[in-house]
Amino acid sequence: MFNARITMPAEAKAGEIVEIRVLTRHPMDRGGQSDGKGGTVPRKILNRLTATYAGDQIFRFDMHTGVASNPFVSFTTRAVATGDIVFEWREDGGATYTRTSRLTVT
């Protein structure tokens, strides 16, 4: 169900602004449809994406039902130190998914 493709440069000069593009595979089910048994399907979307880099949260994306399925987001950050950028998604129901991407600063 969940898959993520993170596109960003592998290395950057210190101080350079790098663009990070994150394409996630997720149905982002907004819920409310009939489940065929008299009830409704509960909402199940990724409701938050956070990106942490060099000890700080650099980006947070609060998602509601207005975000498309297979959501895409791009943002920027300034390259400060070689390290992992950690992406963490939170799904309705409490599941979390984590991916990391390494940025080498020269």
Indicate whether 17 belongs to the interface with another protein (CB under 8 A): yes
- Contacting another protein (CB under 8 A), which of 10, 13, 33, 106? 33
**What minimum distance in Å lies between the beta carbon of 61 and another protein?**
5
Of residues 45 through 84, those in contact with another protein by CB under 8 A are: 53, 56-78, 80
Q: In Å, what is the CA distance from 59 to each residue of 11, 52, 106?
A: 19, 7, 23
Instruction: Name the segment binding another protein (CB under 8 A); options: 2-10, 25-33, 84-92, 94-102.
Output: 25-33
d(Cα 54, Cα 39) in Å, to the nearest integer?
46
Measured from the CB atom, the residue of 1 and 17 that comes closer to another protein is 17
Instruction: Write the CB contacts of 60 (distance below 8 Å, at least 6 apart in sequence).
Output: 48, 49, 50, 51
Q: Residue 25: which residues within 8 A CB-CB, separation 6 or more?
A: 1, 2, 3, 4, 70
Residues binding another protein (CB under 8 A): 17, 30, 32-33, 53, 56-78, 80
